[in-house]
Structure 1
Amino acid sequence: MINSQWKALHLGRWELLFKIMDEGSITRVADIENLQRSQLSRMVSGLEEELGVQLLERRGKRLNPTQVALELRSKIEPHIVMVRRALEKTSELEEGDKGSIRFGAMPGFLQTQVVPLIAEFQQLHPQVTFDVIGDDNPKAFMGGECDLMLYYGPVNDANLVENWVTRSLFVPCASPKYLEKAGYPENPDELSDHSGVVYTGRVRPHSEVLVKNGRQQTFRWKSMIRFNNILLAKTAAVEGCGIVLDMPLHHCFEEVMNGQLIPILNGWQIPNLDNYIGSTLAASKLRRVQMFIDFYVRRRREIEGEQKRRLQEKYNFII
């Protein structure tokens, strides 16, 4: 139940009282704040009545604070400052295209694909700043620590607003050096005679089958080298350590186009996954967040669409 002193909890009344204490005059504060003098007088009287203490005393023409008022001010004013700063921060967050974005994604993808787009976005919107978290486990940045995050999905989380970006294309490939030595496999059965470069990171599920034209088939390796970092796996493949089956196109496009890696298996591939950019429910209401989502989705589709087109021109068995 609300007690008789509930009005005294209104910080705005205390702000006005402190201004009267500074000015020494109700009339002057009424003029400054465009209020009626009688309204301010009733406010002061009301506070004194609710608290049961005198807050102001007149000495000549000036109103002076009592010792009780000074002590109350020392305790209450820091809280007013704290509340005001919090409200200013909230207002700042709602200003649309100004402020920060907390961003989470996989380290390898961040390094090669996302950072250039962040730089491009900031050229257009220099007033937006980013706090970036790189982790190969999406759970590390999908628990509310980030406003925006990249992942394979959908995850169908009620706390996220999910935006589909593209369908990831995984390219089975190996270096010319390895293929000249070990041969060019054309179907999954032949992989048992080959060395595998296997990505084990937590970014996505790892398929135990290859697919082609609606068919699927399991596979096994003669030997394996495992990496929990996709860029290390790519380096190993380029160096001739073996075949990598699930190299995302965005990570191997340049190497495939310049001949460092060669697509194999005549259309057999790891099942594709969908790329998503998600935002928290609160962040989805911020204009700068939606601006970046729109920008990111458009640019990723442009980039990956052009990469896929050029790759298919060179290797028509890739779909």
Structure 2
Amino acid sequence: MIEFADMATYVAAVETSSISQAALRLGIVKSVASRRIRNLEQAVGVTLLDRAGNRIRPTEVGAVYYAKCARILEAIESAQEFVSGHNNLLGGRLRVSASAALLGAVLAPLLAEFAHAHPSLTLDVDADDQRPDFQSGGYDVAFREGRQPDSGLLMRAFDAAPFVICASPGYLEAHGRPAHPRELETHQCLLYACDGSGSSWTLPVDGEMRTLRVRERLRSTSRVQLAYAAIAGLGLLLSPRYVVEEALADGRLLQVLDDFLPPADKMVVLYPESRRHSKKVQALIAFLGERLTT
């Protein structure tokens, strides 16, 4: 008889291309994950995974079997959520991806409150500034800042996040305080690598949005690292205010160009079509909607 746990482990292994990562996703040790997949292969009588090389991949028949297993598991989860809904209980695992800065400054206390309200639910949170990969990451929902590329994902926006341009007092003393965006070309700038802007900032100048080339001093996919770089005096930083709020409050960073800030960003919630009717996902979105301004 095929065990659903074996099937779930196989699906996780295909989606992560790794038995180790599958085990991590499921909260089990690698040896258990390997045994479950062997059990499944023995039950169906064929090899499902090609284990040659550093990353595993499904065999031809394994790829077809994976798609069928994924649909079966989604149906089981839907059935479990339906039953739980009659008791107003949320259970199982909710896998969340969030950018590190957004998680630390905004989401962490809200997710803790949500988890406390649903003691049968396990939250599995991944801090990652990269574009969320719902298949390999196995995420139910992801949180990012700002405009997102068209990906076919469902989306809900919350809570405008105002921007700020700032630098350390030491940097401004050494390089001068810019009074107009045209002066940016003489300054070192710290660039966020995940927004697709390249070596430029888009700011309102003379009543219209203009893309301005800037001198790149440091580039990172982490807003937190960029904040530390600004505090260390490496250059000017354009950032959502919540990332640098404490440093602004205690004077480690100072605001500049306040009259030339871009429009506030939104916190965006992303989830795949397969999670449209997930009670866990919808409960989390509703919870946030009660606490964040839309």
Matched, 1:263 2:263: no
Q: Is the CA contact 1:175–1:261 (under 8 Å) kept in the aligned structure 2?
A: yes
Query: Which residue in the other structure is 1:210 paired with?
Result: 203
Distance 1:142-1:262 versus aligned 2 partners, 3 A rule: farther
Separation in 2, partners of 1:290, 1:223: 41
The reply on whether 1:175 has 2:163 as its aligned counterpart is no
SS of 1:234's partner is helix
Instruction: Tell me the equivalent position of 1:36.
Output: none
Opposite residue 179 of structure 1, the aligned amino acid is L
Selected match of 1:279 from 246, 271, 277: 271
Query: Which residue identity lines up with residue 153 of structure 1 in the other structure?
Result: R
Q: Distance in 2 between matches of 1:166 and 1:213?
A: 27
Pair 1:137 & 2:130 matched:
yes
- TM-score scaled by structure 1? 0.59
Question: What secondary structure sits across from 2:293 in the alignment?
Answer: helix
The runs of 5 or more residues in structure 2 that have no matched partner are: 1-42, 44-71
* RMSD, aligned CA: 3.0
Tell me the distance in 2 between the aligned counterparts of 1:122 and 1:261. Answer: 34
Tell me the residue number matched to 2:81: 93
**Contact 2:192–2:223 (Cα < 8 Å) also in 1:** yes
Q: What is residue 299 of structure 1 aligned with on the other side?
A: 291
- Does 1:240 pair with 2:233? yes
CA, structure 1 residues 145+263, in 2 after alignment: closer, same or farther (shift >3 Å)?
same
The 3 A distance-change label for structure 1 pair 132 and 194 is same
Pick closer, same or farther for the CA change 1:112–1:166 going to 2, 3 Å: closer
**Alpha-carbon deviation of 1:145?**
2.5
Offset of 1:166 from its aligned partner? Answer: 2.7
Shift of 1:224: 1.5
Higher alpha-carbon deviation: 137-146 or 268-277: 137-146
Mapped to 1, the partners of 2:171 and 2:140 lie a distance apart of: 43
Aligned pairs for 1:1-319 within 5 A: 90-94=78-82, 95-96=84-85, 97-141=90-134, 145-151=138-144, 152-153=146-147, 155-158=149-152, 160-200=153-193, 202=194, 204-206=195-197, 208-212=201-205, 214-221=207-214, 224-244=217-237, 246-301=238-293
Identical counterparts, % of pairs:
27
Q: How many residues align?
A: 216
- Residue 191 of structure 1: how far off its partner (Å): 1.5
Q: Deviations over 1:210-241 (max 9, x none)?
A: 21463234434456222222111100111211
* SS of equivalent to 1:276: strand
**C-alpha distance in 2 between matches for 1:125 and 1:181:** 52
Structure 1 unaligned spans of 5+: 1-74, 76-84, 303-319
Deviation readout 1:145-171 (Å, 9 max, x if unpaired): 32111133354554x332121333221
Query: What amino acid sits opposite 1:281 in the alignment?
Result: E
User: Are 2:187 and 2:236, in contact at CA under 8 Å, matched by a contact in 1?
Assistant: yes
- CA separation in 2, counterparts of 1:210 and 1:146? 34
